[in-house]
Amino acid sequence: MSSENNGKPRGESEQFLSRVTSAIKGKIYLAYSYQAEDTVALDMLVKSAAADTGVFTLDTGKLFPELAAYHMEVEKFFGLSIERLHPDSSEVIELEAGQGEFGMRDSIEARKHCCDIRKVRPLSRLLAGKSAWLTGLRAAQSVTRAGMRLLEYDEQFGLIKINPLVHWSEEDINEYIEKHGLPRNPLYEKGFRSIGCMPCTRPVREGEDIRAGRWWWEDPTQRECGCMVKQGQSKQQGQEPRQHSEKKHERNSATIKLG
C-alpha cells in the first residue's frame, strides 16, 4: 500500500493543512464538487485546527440526479451543512434561450460562457473579500493543473488558495477514503472518474485519462471551467483577475509564513 506522494508522506499534507489553517486569519472556504478528492480534503479540514470554515458547492442546475442523495449523505457523515451556490436566474434564462440544452458543445467560447454563468460568477460573489479557499485539486489530474503549488495566491479571485492534495495520486485518494470509511460518490461505480455537469461529463473508457470524460470534444489543454485558472495565466485566457491592493496581498502573504 502506497504511503507517499511525490516522495512525501501523505501525512505531511495533513500537518501542512493544520499549520496553514491556523496561520490564516479569517474564514476558509472549501469548494466541494462531489469528487473523491473533495471528500478527502473535507475530512482533513474537519480534523485540522481551522476555527472558522465554510463548505460550498456550485449547484449549476445541470448536476446529476444521484448527487442530491449523496449531498445529504456527506452532510450527515460530517455533521455539517454544504452551502449551495446558484447562478443568477435571469442570466441562466438568457443563456438557455441562446444556447438551448447542448449549445455549450458548439464551441469552446460557448462552453466557457456557460461555465462562467453557472460556476465562475457565483464563485466570485462568494469569495469576494474572503481570506482563503481550499480545493481538492491534484497536479496529476491534467496538463492544465501541472505546476500547481500547495499554497498560492489566487490572482483571479484575489485571495489565498490552498491545495493540500496537489502531490497526491489517485491511488492515494482511494486508499485514504477506504482507510477512513468516507462516503463515496455513486457515480464512480458507473464508470465516472471526474464528475461535472451532466451535459459535459461522460464515463471514462478503459485506458483513457482520468479527465477524458470532461468536455471530451475539446483539446485537453482547454478543459477547465474557469474557476481553476492556472496562476499567472488569467489574462492569457481572457479573464481579468479581480482587483486587489498591494497592501492586502502583502498582508495575506504574511499570514502564511509558517517558518
Domain CATH number, residue 225: 3.40.50.620
CA dist 17 and 29 (Å) reads 13
Q: What is the pLDDT of residue 257?
A: 54
* pLDDT of 14 above 80: yes
Q: Which of 76-80, 164-168, 212-216 has the lowest mean pLDDT?
A: 212-216
Report residue 170 as a C-alpha cell.
489517485
Q: What is the pLDDT of residue 90?
A: 98
Q: Which of 88-102, 144-158, 180-194, 226-240 has the lowest mean pLDDT?
A: 226-240
42-67 confidence digits (pLDDT tens): 999 999 978 899 999 999 999 999 99
State the pTM of this model.
0.83
Q: What is the pLDDT of residue 63?
A: 97
CA dist 124 and 235 (Å) reads 16
Q: What is the pLDDT of residue 237?
A: 40
CA dist 185 and 201 (Å) reads 15
Q: How many residues does the chain have?
A: 259
Higher pLDDT, 114 or 240: 114
> In total, how many domains does the chain have?
1
133-172 confidence digits (pLDDT tens): 999 999 877 666 677 889 999 999 999 999 999 999 999 9
Q: What is the extent of the structural domain holding 101?
A: 4-255
- The b/e string for 139-152 (b: 16+ C-beta within 10 A; e otherwise) is bbbbebbeebebbb
Residues with a known catalytic role: 225
- 2 contacts 175 by C-beta, under 8 angstroms: yes
| CB within 8 Å of 193: residues ≥ 6 apart | 170, 204, 210, 211, 213
DSSP-based three-state secondary structure for 221: helix
Q: What is the mean pLDDT of residues 210-223?
A: 77
Highest mean pLDDT among 2-6, 29-33, 210-214: 29-33
Q: What is the pLDDT of residue 147?
A: 75
223-245 confidence digits (pLDDT tens): 666 676 554 444 434 444 444 43
Q: What average pLDDT is seen over the chain?
A: 84
